[in-house]
Each structure stands twice: as structure tokens, then as C-alpha cells.
Amino acid sequence: MEEGSCRLQRKDSFILIGLSVRAQSRDYQIFIDSGLRFQLAELLDSSIEKLVIVTDEHVKKYYLDDCLHELKSSFPVNVYVIPPGEQSKSMEQYKSLQQFLLNQRITRKSAILALGGGVVGDLAGFAAATFARGIGFIQMPTTILAHDSSIGGKVAVNLDGKKNIIGSFYPPHQVIFDLEMFQTLNEQEIRSGLAEMVKHGLIADQKLYDSLLSSIKVDFDLSSNDFKHLLVQSIQVKNKIVEKDEKETGIRKFLNFGHSFGHALEAAHMNSRTHGECVMLGMIFALWLSNEKFNHLKGFSFQRLMDWVKQMDYPLQLDDVTSAELLNNMKFDKKNTQDELQLVLLKQIGSPCLQNINVYTMESYLNEFITKWNQGEFNWLK
């Protein structure tokens, strides 16, 4: 495969996306199909000497036994289980996992398989990146949201309420999506993942955006070929950006669309709203800012997006947060300084741009948006 290429091909029953990341990184494959947990031994590198599955208590109940049954005759397997939720992305949990790897005599010829959502992937990936200066790392996402976080190599833990403040770039050696695992997601987790797919459509792919809004309903079959193809399109958006800018010095920053506001809201509502639910509100704010304050997005239908957002039952209340609280959280975002914030805006769908905004101006924008939102002054919100 040519360096930097991303293509689809058939391999038996799998849809295989081949990804070649530039710079110091490695090439790795992405498998997407239903039932892949029953074919893990076939998919994994047979030279792995020991395998450590990192998962959470929720995923363990549904899928760990299937994976162990498939793997036990091919690899020595150990299991490390964490509590579900963002609180497990901590230095304490990271240290505990490192101690576990040490106790199990894990070496550079071993690998971690992250069986779970974004929290599991981030924690396991950061541990894999730093233990013995790097061991094998396989992502097996069990949430739609993790289709984004499992690709591209960002791994991190939180500290003192600051998201992903301690981390690294460490691409996985493989990513394996078993679409059947999406069947046990609750509606909140589904909404969270779909928000990142909508983000990919808005920043890079009008057809993906249109397809998501026209075809995804509350009762949509997440194991269907239609959803598989939408997921592939969303992954391709991420792939193409990561191939060109692995370390986020340029266009990879566009993937932060909606995340400055979203992360700030998430910090204010830790554990009550999901990442994607907060990012959805962050994207709406960024779209409004693009249109209202920077004269972009001519002809964009806010009403169409809001009709879909309300149909999918995204939480929309902002009466429990202040502009000052959001601004304070935004200042601590890694992309920003105490005096100036950098936001991703849209000129049009598929045409993102970076905009630096003074903190005092941003406070005014936030206050105006939240006030009008809470008072129902946006016609497209009614």
C-alpha cells in the first residue's frame, strides 16, 4: 500500500480499511464486521507472547467471556478490570495498571488489548505507550464514540479535573470493531458516538452529514450494513486527517470542532452528560458563532440539524451552567492560553478554519449564546 493511503478492500467476511500513518508512526489495519470477537485469534499477531485484556466492569459482563474463550488456546491471557466511567482515567488507575503489568512479567513482546470505550482505550493505550517504553497495543472499541478515539494514537489520563492533560501519541497496532457490541449500548452512549460522526461530516464530508441526518433514527439497526458503511465513511475522515498531521500541528486541530465548549461543559457536568452529548452542544455553539459573528455558513440549515438533535433526544439544557464557568474551563484547554482561545469554526460544511478569540470577547459570545438559548430566542430551537 502506498504511504499515506486509505483504501477499502474485501478480506473474507471483513471490510478492511488499510491505514498508513506518516512520520514516526506505524501502519495498522482496521477490521469492521459483526462477530469479530469470535475470530480474534485469527486476527491477532501470532507472535504476541502474552496478552493483557483491559476492560471495565460493564463490558466484562457482556463480552469478556467470548473473547477469552476465543483467545485462550492461542495466547496466555491476563485480565485487568477497571470501574466504568471517566473517573478511571486517573493517575491512580494508571499506576495500578502499570504495577499489574509488572507483576505479570509483561515484556515488549506482549500486548494490551483494550476492550471497551474511550476511557478503556485511553488508559490502556497510555499504559502500553509507557510500559517498557512501548508494548503492543490493540484497540477493540465497544462504543460508537470510540470509533474516533481508537484511531489516531491519542492516549491520555486526566489530572485535577483537566481532561487528557497527561498523555502521548501512541497509535494502536490494530483496531477491531465488532458491530454486535453496539447492540448493548444505551441510548445515551449511542447519542454520544453519533455526535462524533456528525462532527466528521460537518468538517469534511457533506454526504456523510446528509446521510446521518436522513437515515439515523432512534431505532436504527447498528449492526446493519448501512451503519457499517456510515461508520467506514466517518473513520475515513479521521484517517485522512491523521495521515497528514499525526501530531496535531495543523489540520488535525479541525477534529476539535465543538470540543472547546464541549470539554468545558463536560467538566462542569462530570458523569451526568456524556462526551458526545457535550460536544453536540459545543458544535451548535461553534456553528452559531461561525454564522452570527464571523459571517460564515451562508445557507446552513440550523433547523434541520436541530430537528434531528431533538429527535435523538440530546440533552439541551444550559440553564445549569454560566458563561464564566465555561470560560474558566475553556482557558485550561491544552489548545488555549489565559488570554486567547482557539476555536474551530466552519466557513461551510467541509471547510473548517481556526479562529483565535480574545477571552473577554469569548465571554461576551458565551453569555449571549447561553442567554438566548435559555430564553428560547433562536427560531430554530423552537
pLDDT higher than threshold 70 for residue 6: no
pLDDT, average across residues 323-348: 88
DSSP string spanning 114-180?
Answer: EEESHHHHHHHHHHHHHGGG--EEEEEE-SSTHHHHTSS-EEEEEETTEEEEEEEE---SEEEEEGG
SS3 for 81? Answer: strand
pLDDT, average across residues 58-70: 98
Query: What 8-state DSSP symbol labels residue 208?
Result: H
Topology of 197-221+257-381 in CATH? Answer: Dehydroquinate synthase-like, alpha domain (1.20.1090)
pLDDT winner (highest mean) among 92-96, 164-168, 242-246:
92-96
At 252-300, the pLDDT tens digits run 999 999 999 999 999 887 668 999 999 999 999 999 999 999 999 999 9
At 72-84, the pLDDT tens digits run 999 999 999 999 9
pLDDT, average across residues 103-113: 98
| Alpha carbon distances (Å) from 133 to 98, 126, 139, 161 | 12, 11, 18, 27
Q: Are 257 and 204 in contact (CB under 8 A)?
A: no
pLDDT, average across residues 198-208: 98
Say if residue 269 carries a ligand binding annotation: no
Work out the pLDDT band at 27, boundaries 50, 70, 90. Answer: confident
pLDDT higher than threshold 90 for residue 17: no
pLDDT, average across residues 3-12: 42
pLDDT higher than threshold 60 for residue 16: no
Work out the pLDDT band at 342, boundaries 50, 70, 90. Answer: very high
What whole-number percentage of the chain has pLDDT above 90?
A: 77
Q: Measured between alpha carbons, how far apart are the two ends of the chain, in Å?
A: 50
Say if residue 350 carries a ligand binding annotation: no
pLDDT, average across residues 207-236: 92
What is the residue extent of each domain of the chain?
Answer: 6-185, 197-221+257-381
Say if residue 119 carries a ligand binding annotation: yes
Say if residue 200 carries a ligand binding annotation: no
pLDDT higher than threshold 90 for residue 1: no
Say if residue 337 carries a ligand binding annotation: no
CATH of 6-185, one of 3.20.20.100, 3.40.50.1970, 3.40.50.720, 1.20.120.1200: 3.40.50.1970
Say if residue 154 carries a ligand binding annotation: yes
pLDDT, average across residues 313-330: 94
Say if residue 259 carries a ligand binding annotation: yes
The chain-wide mean pLDDT, for the chain, equals 91
pLDDT, average across residues 323-346: 88
* 6-185 and 197-221+257-381: identical CATH topology: no
Say if residue 262 carries a ligand binding annotation: no
